[in-house]
Amino acid sequence: MINEGFFNLIAFGYLAIGAVTLYRLVRNWHSFFSKSLIYYDRELVWPVALFVLGPIGVLVHELSHYFFAIHYGASEVEMHYRVYWGFVTYATTQPFDSFQSLAITVAGPASGVFLGVGAVIVGLLIPDRIALKSTLVAFGLFEAFHSLIGYPLMDMAYEFEGDFHSIYTTLSGQQRTVAAAIHVMSSAMLVLAWRRLRSTGRIAI
């Protein structure tokens, strides 16, 4: 089960890091968005991707659960957004069927993957502006990585019965095998894409 106090404590720490990172970004705004790349800009790429843009990924994830729950007729739908983590609660007059429950659950991680791929594409399309390009690509890769690999590992390690626990317990044996195969292949493609992007020299990650 979710330990709200534990995750709130982690979120508070992330918020402090995010505030410091945002301050550094504002101080180096012109340099960061210029065509050149200096060492200080390079140091900001991952902190900005994780601690400044990261909450956007959390928001998209939770909004996806929220709107899918409303779409299928849930009542008392509430989104609990804690900046660096969150969850959605709802009630139903009649239990959802397995497809509806699965759709609501899958919506969160799937939106993270789509957001990540979109961020990578936008980052690669931006001409020059190496720091900005690299930050968007880093954010996109992190979003996709977290949705496909990081989140499932956390779910198993901490047993908080999150999205992937729900997904794999809802599916039947054969469906679970197919889902696991797709999951593994998608994760492998992500790792290969990460390595390929780093080897091109077009971005600083």
Over residues 106-158, the pLDDT tens digits come to: 999 999 999 999 999 999 998 878 889 999 999 999 999 999 999 988 887 77
First to last CA, the chain: 35
Separation CA 191–CA 193 (nearest Å): 5
Is the pTM of the predicted complex or chain greater than 0.85?
A: yes
- The predicted model gives 14-27 an average pLDDT of 96
What is the percentage of the chain residues whose pLDDT exceeds 90? Answer: 60
Residue 172 has pLDDT above 70, yes or no: yes
pLDDT band at 2 (very low <50, low <70, confident <90, very high): low
Q: Is 163 in a helix, a strand, or coil?
A: helix
Joined tokens for residue 39: 């060492």
- Residue 64 burial by CB count (10 A; 0-12/13-18/19+): exposed, middle or buried? buried
pLDDT band at 31 (very low <50, low <70, confident <90, very high): confident
Distances in Å between the Cα of 118 and the Cα atoms of 57, 74, 106, 136, 185 are 12, 29, 18, 9, 19
Query: In this predicted structure, which of 39-43, 77-81, 82-86, 124-128 has the lowest mean pLDDT?
Result: 39-43
Share in percent of the chain as helix, strand, coil (round to 5): 75, 5, 20
Residue 68's CB is within 10 A of a number of other CB atoms, namely: 22
Q: Is 34 in a helix, a strand, or coil?
A: coil
- The predicted model gives 30-35 an average pLDDT of 85
What are residue 80's DSSP bridge partners? 87
Q: Which are the contacts of 78, defined by CB distance < 8 A and separation ≥ 6?
A: 88, 89, 90
Could you tell me which of 123, 85, 103, 118 has the C-alpha nearest to residue 9?
85
Q: Find tokens 């180096």 and name the residue.
A: 28
